[in-house]
Structure 1
Amino acid sequence: MASNQEEVKVFGMLASPFVSRVEIALGLKGIEYKYQEEEFGNLSDTLFKYNPVYKKVPVLVHNDKPISESLVIVEYIDETWKQNPILPSDPHKRALARFWSNFIDDKYMNALGKVLYTHDEKEREKCIEESEVALQFLENELKDKFFGGKEIGLVDITAVFIAFWLPIVQEVMGLKLFNNEKFPKLYNWSQDFNNHPIVKEKLPSRESLLAFYKARFAS
């Protein structure tokens, strides 16, 4: 638990998987925090003050010191509160966890972003292919119940979008990117991850996300 002297605050947004990364990390550490909901398209001046560079969520404020960018925040949480480690202690394994986390953001999230927001059919096909190649790399990398072994680690937290958001987004858009037939290991991992008691408690409701994306893609 965060001691009384410690003030932990998270600036977040319902539909952001990047915010969920931070909340899951805090949950795994058993840290209490205050949550400040930001409005999509109408961010607060306080958020701009704490994150003047990127002007986006999530922002963690610990004892009035702000940290932004989800993976930076998750590592900060892991280094600040030592219980229930998120990164391995072995330097090589730690480097690998960082490598795969960066891979998810660079290769997978980028390709999927283009799938969702491009109107060019050929470009979309190419990006769908890229995102499936990225998923296949992750399928091959998964050796245990979680990427972190028996317990949830950095790569699992980074991949929250694949586990929880992707099935919702593909349902709204009529895509078939991620299922049990194509990626059996990743699919089973996603079920175990989403049903982990701490993860389950920190994820937004499926219904609210479904409504958000239906409205988003309709416009």
Structure 2
Amino acid sequence: MSSSRERILGDIRRGLGRPALSESRQAVLDQRIHGGEQEPLRPVLANKPLPDQFAEGLEKVAGECVRIARRSDAPAALKRWLEAQDVAAEARLAPAVADIDWASDGLRVSEGASAGDDLVGVSQALLAVAETGTVVLRSGAETPTTLNFLPDYHVVLVDAEHLVGHLEDAWVQLRTRLGAQWPRVVNLITGPSRTADVEQTMQLGAHGPRRLLVLLVGA
């Protein structure tokens, strides 16, 4: 690395209150710059189980995570959550979650894509990323993308076995699971919709759901 670049980056680190790079870390960076393609550097995750890290990451972005033992526990968990929000116990379901007996807990449900008049949408995620509290959803007949964005309240089921640590791991898993059957769209959703464009005041639900609940199955 040139001396001028070292000086500039050193000034940036000092300005951020960060210590100088260790020799080993500098060697890794030099190898990445001059040694061709390498594994990407990834943030170090806390020494916690992935479900804990995912729940914490989701809460940081104003989402909510409820852990359930089985998919069959989803209706009761959803009904309790809707009652807490003072929202009617009804929802529009992605066909991918229609195998669950939602009516057993008194929920009124319909199935299919949303036309924009549904208050609650329930989706199935392929994966979730612990690093950022992100859920990864595919488009398709079984998982209509409209349910991700049109209802005010978005509920997502994801299996704990499909939690990954970093975003890079998610793309690896997607290639493995989907093979050549890639969807037209892959949505990465991190928390509810938000904007601070108006007077720098954070508003939820600006151009999508105002609340996001993730039901983490088997955690």
Q: Under a length normalisation based on structure 2, what TM-score does the superposition of the two structures give?
A: 0.29
Q: Under a length normalisation based on structure 1, what TM-score does the superposition of the two structures give?
A: 0.29
Relative to total residues, which structure has the larger helix share, 1 or 2?
A: 1
